[in-house]
Amino acid sequence: MAVYELDTFLRLSAVLNYQLSAVALGSGNILALLLEDKPVSPYERDTLLGVLKYLGHAYGRKRRRLGPLAILHPIRATALLARSEDEANLLDLLAELLHDKLEDISSDDFTQEEWSELEDEFQSLLKRVDQTDEWFLMERLELLKRHEEGQTYCQYIGRMLGQGKQMPDLVRVKLADRLDNTLDMRVDIHDPLDGVDFFSHIFQLLFVGSYTGYRPTLAHPAKSPINGAQRLYELFKNTVLLSLIRQRADTNDDVPASRLFDAIATASMREAQRTIMHIFGYHITDIAQQKQILEEAMAYCVQGGFDVVTTPTGGQPLDGLFVGCFDHHDTKVRKEQLRILYLDKPLMVKASVAFIVIFQSFLGDPKYFVRGITPEGIMPEEAD
């Protein structure tokens, strides 16, 4: 399974969601889908089935921002992790299934009696696990939780990788989580890039004078709960995660982590391509304007502007992109900046070009990371 392909992801989501929507939770079927036929011992199977049952009680009918059941995320992220590993690893699977427990499962959503019963169920699950594995599991869940109010995403990942540097499998868990979040930003029936050769369109736009432009065959999609600027913010988070992993963790000898790392880079690059093709297909349709936008982004790239976090003082629209649009500990400020970005379609195209260059660099250069992204936070440099 190419875990970065949107069509494949949508099919996996549909099958899992069908099982989750059944009258009786089909835990056995879900586990089979999750493991993709990887063998597990009876003890491991019983433990995983117990966790799926617990998650069914804990999440109930809660839903994600796009509308599907909230339980779909930890199960699907675990399926992505399992597909990156040659053999099933119980501790990895448990950590992925429960990675949001300390953030998403709260007593606020239950009566006191219900919460007490739910916590008893979780403690019973822990008793099934070897004591050493139980300690490692709870350590991972603590590290995966965002503890400090007002902490930026960069600071959160820096803390997690710093404290968990003796737990390389923690990187795998976080990568699978981010991969699921990256792919889970659309409710399309199929991938908008199907039948679209992105690089061919861009080449023709820049070099072929007779090119008439990209013309989508479908009407403009209905408004989504996640818009293009918000999707770009998710790509920013991926840039932070991959940059900090490159600086703080060695994934070269960790085959599953390397696979997930590359999958995130590929999925992110393709998502940036979708943004550009959407804007050129529906919003900025003038060929001359499209060409000008790309030429400006190309000139900025040649200057090395996409290799380092810059300040907003360089005089170019892309200067300060990360610190201006994305890196805010105040959620209200970030939402307002994303709203402004969404209205600026030329800047959205240029930002998407930046992300394509960044993620292609991650794939092509094993030592690449964006300078200025540090464990302590975003540290911009003056633009050249």
Cα-Cα-Cα-Cα dihedral of 349, 384, 264, 9, to 10°? 0
Q: Given this model, what pLDDT does residue 273 score?
A: 98
How do residues 197-241 score in pLDDT, each as one tens digit?
999 999 999 999 999 999 998 888 888 889 999 999 999 999 999
CA angle 209-211-216, nearest 5°?
Answer: 160
Burial of 287 (0-12, 13-18, 19+ CB in 10 A): middle
- Kindly give, in sequence order, each residue whose CB lies less than 8 Å from that of residue 243, ignoring residues fewer than 6 positions away: 369, 370, 373
Report the distance separating Cα 21 and Cα 15, nearest Å: 10
> What mean pLDDT do residues 140-151 have?
83
pLDDT at 384 over 60: no
Model's pTM, two decimal places?
0.94
DSSP H stretches of helix in the chain: 6-20, 27-35, 42-59, 72-84, 90-97, 101-104, 112-128, 131-144, 153-163, 168-183, 198-207, 228-248, 255-282, 287-302, 321, 331-343, 345-364
Band of the pLDDT at 287, cuts 50, 70, 90? very high
What are the boundaries of each domain within the chain? 6-145, 179-378
What is the chain's alpha carbon radius of gyration, rounded to the nearest angstrom? 22
pLDDT at 249 over 70: no
Report the distance separating Cα 173 and Cα 169, nearest Å: 7
State CA 240 to chain mean position distance. Answer: 11
Q: Given this model, what pLDDT does residue 250 score?
A: 64
> What mean pLDDT do residues 298-324 have?
86
Report phi then psi at 63, rounded to 5.
Answer: -125, 155
Q: Given this model, what pLDDT does residue 371 score?
A: 94
Report the distance separating Cα 222 and Cα 332, nearest Å: 25
Q: Given this model, what pLDDT does residue 259 score?
A: 94
